[in-house]
A and B are shown apart, each in its own frame.
Chain A
Amino acid sequence: MIDRTIVRLTMRQLLGQKRSLLMAAFALLPMLIVLLYVLENDDLGTQRWVAEIGLGEFVIGLVLPFAALIFGTAALGQEFEDGTAVYLLAKPIPRYRIIASKLLVAWGATAAIVAIATVPSAIIGLAGLPQDGILIGFLIGGVIGSFAYCAAFLWLSIATSRALIVGLVYVFIWENIVVGLFDGVKFLSISEYALGIAGIFITAPQRTFDPLLSPAAAIVFAVILTSVAVYLAIRALRRWEIGEST
């Protein structure tokens, strides 16, 4: 299903860059915010704040989509940009294997960033408070959300040369503004899928954690969106044409 050479090349390409280090540093931001909050507050509202703001808004709403956008669009998009994609595409490799290999690396990198953002924040923020499955819920929701985001952004990077801009519009305008204003479009928000899936594991009261989507709906929509994105990515790669400038 995957090609080890492509996986290795992609890992070296993605992880050897400054932006990966910056991303890892960015992933520590929620932990710092949570730390500052708990130093000032130690009341019962802390659990709610950690779940809703620290993990919900900062990790799932910001770090996760941003990391997926960086890694998902760069996994193949960077090779289109610098001209090295031809070395992969001029080989007798089925296109689905290229997509699977690229997606695996982008997902792995994004999931690692999500873990860096989630685990210390939850440990620090919930120290001495009921855990209620918050850490494991956000971690698994984030990791599954990473896969859906990366599949979507990988497809975007093949379908358009402006994947980064389109991705930013989706994350910051669609997910953060439009979904907040119109409840009805929550089915088209990957971060809502991640939160819905986190709900499978979280036993905290509704006032602490109340996702827009039920776990079942989140799983179904995540599977549909990911499958469609992967299918479109494979199809787009099969039809990819070299640019005039290349």
Chain B
Amino acid sequence: MTEPAAPAAVEVTSVSRWYGNIVAVNDISFSLRGGVTGLLGPNGAGKSTMLHMLAGFLRPSSGTVKVLGLPTWGNPDLYHEIGLVQKREAVYPFLSGLDFVLDAARLHHLPDPHAAALKAIRMVEMESAMDRATGGYSKGMKQRIKIAAALVHEPRILLLDEPFNGADPRQRLQLMDMLRAMAAEGKTIVFSSHILEEVERLADDVLVIVSGRLAASGDFREIRKLMTDRPHTFHVRASDNRKLAARLVADESVYGVELMGESLEVRTSEFAAFTHAVATVARQAEVSIFELRPTDESLESVFSYLVRR
């Protein structure tokens, strides 16, 4: 007889959440089994709503959210296995960093709260400041002490809402190393970010959320390729726009050129190939380029493309 398969660490099935007429999360499904997963999307995309549903702090309007096979809503016992780092900076300002983490350990009724608190504080490298009141901490320090409090009970699932906000580059790398090490131990880590590079550095898998919908999911490299290979539009201003347009349209990387009076709009499907080609073409045509810039490089436009795709 075969053992039944263990439930996924996180199982989200057809989940929507709306506030009145506003749909914050729209029919999202995914499942996670360990490793680091990045929730990527622009501000207001629904990442925090999704994380709060995973943490049992929001009831899905429809669909189910399960952690370790159990519904998260209305199930406080699950907090034995879940750690949550919220986006807000809030801490108890009158508590020292040590007391803050120690109280988290006590609220979990750990057998040795002091040892657990010290271990968690060491993990986030906050030993030197642990006796100071958290009210005087910098944003990055608050973030790290909040992470220590969230992992003091060694949860199997760690949920972090924009955890690197306010952290300096060194702290950021240290936190990323720590989270990767936790994932290597078999824990499931889900974090949200609107910064592509953070997700690229840390996440094994990515869930791209745009306007409440799951725009893409899976291996980060695949999604990155989709983002890079999408059609780009460049704004070009040269000494002879018409001549440059005629030459560019013959290049394989270009699939459209439009004369816009004083400038050109060039459409390409290969970002890197075009940026190399344009210089060569201009030199051959003896045209000087005064301005060359992509017109749609905001993260929002990248996400919009993924949604439309």
Contact = CB atoms under 8 A, between A and B. Distances in A.
Interface of A: 3, 5-6, 9, 12-13, 16, 82-84, 86-95, 238-239, 241-242, 244, 246
B82 interface: yes
A133 to B, nearest CB: 42
Contact of B79 (A6, A16, A84, A91): A91
B256 interface: no
A91 B108 contact: yes
A90 B79 contact: yes
A97 to B, nearest CB: 10
B57 interface: yes
A6 to B, nearest CB: 7
Interface in B104-138: 104, 106-108
Interface residues of B, number: 33
B290 interface: no
B76 interface: yes
B267 interface: no
Contacts, number: 74
Question: Secondary structure at chain B's binding surface: helix, strand, loop or mixed?
Answer: mixed
Contact of A90 (B49, B59, B82, B91): B82
A90 to B, nearest CB: 5
B107 A93 contact: yes
A88 B76 contact: no
Contacts of A95: 76
A3 B106 CA distance: 10
A92 B76 contact: yes
Contacts of B24: 244
A84 B55 contact: no
Contacts of B76: 89, 91-95
A86 B84 contact: yes
Contact of B92 (A9, A93, A239): A9
A242 B58 contact: yes
A210 B125 CA distance: 66
Given A83-B86, A89-B57, A93-B107, 9 more contacts: A9-B95, A12-B95, A83-B88, A83-B90, A87-B104, A90-B83, A90-B150, A92-B108, A246-B86
